[in-house]
Chain A
Amino acid sequence: MRNIRLALLMIVLLGLGYPAAMTGLAQLLFPHQAKGSIIYEKGRAIGSELIGQSFQGDSYFHGRPSSIQYDASASGSPNYGPSSKEMMERMEKDAEQWLKKVPGKTKKDIPIDLITNSGSGLDPHISPAAALFQVPMVAKATGLSEQQLTRLVKQHIEGRAMGVFGEPRVNVVRLNMAVQKLVEERSKRNES
Chain B
Amino acid sequence: MWHVFSQYTLIFLLLIVIAVPLGKYLYVAFFEKGKIDRFFSPIEAVIYRLSGIRSLEEMTWKSYCTALLIVNAALLGISYGLLRIQHYLPLNGAKVENMEPTLTFNTVVSFMTNTNLQHYSGESGLSILSQMLFVTMMMFTSAATGLTVATALIRALSKKGKTIGNFYQDFVRANVRVLLPLSVIVTILLVAFGVPQTFLARMAVSTLEGGTQTLALGPVASLESIKHLGTNGGGFFGANSSHPFENPHPFTNVIEMLSMWCIPAALPFTYGHAVKNRKQGWVLFATMFVLFVMMLGVVYNAEQSGNPLVGKSGFAADQGNMEGKEVRFGIPLSSLFTAITTAATTGSVNNMHDSLTPIGGLVPLALMMLNNVFGGDGVGFVNIMMYAMIAVFLSGLMVGRTPEFLGRKIEPKEMKLIVIALLLHPLIILAPSAIALMTHMGTEAISNPGFHGISQVVYEYTSSAANNGSGFEGLKDNTAFWNISTGVVMLLGRYVSIIAMLAVAGSLVGKQPVPETIGTFRTDTATFGVILFGTVFIIGALTFFPVLILGPVAEYLTIR
Contact = CB atoms under 8 A, between A and B. Distances in A.
Interface of A: 1-11, 13-16, 18-19, 22-23, 25-27, 29-30, 33-38, 44-48, 50-57, 60, 64, 70-84, 87-88, 91-92, 95, 106-113, 115-127, 160-161, 164-167, 169, 173, 176-177, 180
A80 to B, nearest CB: 6
Interface stretch (B153-161, B212-220, B395-403, B511-519): B212-220
A60 B211 CA distance: 14
B207 interface: yes
Interface stretch (B188-196, B385-393, B484-492): B188-196
Contacts of B538: none
Contact of A124 (B206, B244, B325): B244
Contacts of B254: 165
11 contacts: A3-B71, A18-B136, A36-B203, A45-B204, A79-B355, A82-B555, A120-B237, A122-B243, A125-B327, A126-B327, A169-B328
A165 B309 contact: no
A101 B534 CA distance: 56
A22 B190 CA distance: 11
Contacts of B184: 18, 22
A11 to B, nearest CB: 5
Contact of B237 (A3, A64, A75): A75
B407 interface: no
Contacts of B208: 46-47, 53, 55, 60, 173, 176-177, 180
Contacts of B333: 165-167
Contact of B327 (A74, A108, A109, A127): A127
B558 A51 contact: no
Given A34-B197, A64-B327, A119-B239, A50 B448 contact: no
Contacts of B51: 2, 5-6, 9
A119 B202 CA distance: 21
B355 A92 contact: no
Interface in B458-507: 472-474
B74 A80 contact: no
Contact of A80 (B198, B244, B355): B355
B133 interface: yes
A187 B331 CA distance: 42
Nearest to A7: B74
A92 B310 CA distance: 10
Interface string B237-256: 11100111100111101100
B242 A120 contact: yes
Contacts of B322: 112-113, 116
B430 interface: no
B78 interface: yes
A152 to B, nearest CB: 15
Given A11-B78, A26-B191, A112-B320, A82 B559 contact: yes
B67 A3 contact: yes
B413 interface: no
Contact of A7 (B75, B214, B332, B473): B75
Contact of B214 (A2, A18, A73): A73
A39 to B, nearest CB: 8
Contact of A36 (B121, B217, B319): B217
A185 B254 CA distance: 40
